[in-house]
Amino acid sequence: MALEILMPALSPTMEEGTLAKWLVKEGDTVASGDLLAEIETDKATMEFEAVDEGVIGKLLVAAGTAAVKVNSPIAVLLEDGEELGAEIVPQATATPEPTAAKVSSAAPIEAAPIKNGTRVFASPLARRIAQDKDIDLSLITGSGPKGRIVKADIENAHGAVTASEPKASQPVAMPVQTDPNDITKLYAGRSYTEVPLDGMRKIIAARLTEAKQTIPHFYLRRDIHLDALLKFRSQINKQLEKRDVKLSVNDFIIKACALALQQVPQANAVWAGDRVLQMEASDVAVAVAIERGLFTPVLQDAETKSLSSLSSEMKDLATRARSRKLAPHEYLGGSFAISNLGMMGIDNFDAVINPPHGAILAVGAGVKKPIVTEYGNLGIATVMSVTLSVDHRVIDGALGAELLSAIKDNLENPMAMLA
């Protein structure tokens, strides 16, 4: 039976992508795990694997085609010995309809049902066959790539016939739409350049609109004295010269936040719709600006890593983020984020929370300011203004203040972060 290969959802936010390059041609025989194509998502270029075996009967979408909708047909897969007839060639431009013959040869990010806290990954064809045969996918061990359940696993299953419960539909927060024609009419007769939105900019617009509409933000502000940190950083960088390591102020901020999340563990949490997930490790996301967008790569287990390790990992993630070479697991997740515009001369600002994070720290520039010392005298200090944006569903005011106080104490006593 001819099967349609559908455009996969290679990231949770992907709605369309560019079919950058085919790695197979018509007539090629493919097996589970073979690479079929390179897909440019809203975040990165990723390889697309087959999870069913067969022969490539027809490529419906040419390499280089942009804005291919998720779940639209891009190729036809035939069984061995089957010929491609006109009646089974789908129209690539038609809106895809759900039929028994339509499956993707790569499982999208959205997985099969969750049972006992574990996700069950299966190809669409395997799910359809399992549904027809009333087979519980959670009772089957997958033999496909990364443990995915494929057609052969279902056909070889015996006795696993307890039907899984149907998934309840999840509400989706839809961003407010503005008719673009109404906007352009306002500027009739004025000169402008129309810049089309790429996938990343569309996702940023939708997610931040959702964040500001649905997350009850509140803001906490503190001034942090950096002189002790700057002196300590200068000393330690001299000692690290032979290892070709140079720590930045941002490296210390990452470490300070990671330790603060351990010192105030109730604040190390994310919003999960109908519950709060309190995390054990400090997985800290850091905003990285790229051309026409941004990434938030995640430094996992940041509280356990040395400053030099954090510095090296952050440089690597930032470099690959700017070339859009990050894998989804490197920029998804985390419970806390840092956005540092101080290096661009911004004194202070309020950052928007990146859901499902519980908070984000907006970091301003270190500026020399007059202060009153602890002895009541006037003095000069390097002062950095920070603002903690907090999700009130996850963290209350007093708890947020405790977290920000811990971050401040860590940065003003940098040697203690090495203890």
Residue 164 in this model has a pLDDT that exceeds 50: no
Where in the sequence numbering do the catalytic residues fall? 392
Residue 133 in this model has a pLDDT that exceeds 70: yes
pLDDT at 118: 53
Instruction: Write a three-state SS string for 192-216.
Output: CCCCCCCHHHHHHHHHHHHHHHHCC
Q: Map tokens 């949490």 to a residue.
A: 269
> What pTM did the predictor assign?
0.64
Q: Would you state the torsion angle of the CA atoms of residues 233, 238, 243, 248, taken in this order, to the nearest 10 degrees? A: 30
Which CATH number describes the domain made up of 216-418? 3.30.559.10
- Please, how many CA atoms are within 13 Å of residue 419, restricted to the half-sphere of its CB? 6
pLDDT at 286: 97
Query: Residue 337 — very low, low, confident or very high, per pLDDT cuts 50/70/90?
Result: very high
Query: Residue 366 — very low, low, confident or very high, per pLDDT cuts 50/70/90?
Result: very high
The token duo for 367 is: 């500026």
> What sign has the CA pseudo-torsion 306, 312, 318, 320?
negative
Residue 104 in this model has a pLDDT that exceeds 80: no
Question: In this predicted structure, which of 33-37, 89-93, 152-156 has the lowest mean pLDDT?
Answer: 89-93
Average pLDDT over residues 16-45: 86
DSSP states of 165-196 as a string?
PPPPPPP-PPPPP--HHHHHHHTTTS------
Contact 104, 75 (CB under 8 A): no
Which CATH number describes the domain made up of 3-155? 2.40.50.100
Question: In this predicted structure, which of 46-60, 111-125, 208-222, 256-270 has the lowest mean pLDDT?
Answer: 111-125
Domain-wise residue ranges, the chain: 3-155, 216-418
pLDDT at 85: 63
Average pLDDT over residues 82-89: 62
pLDDT at 44: 76
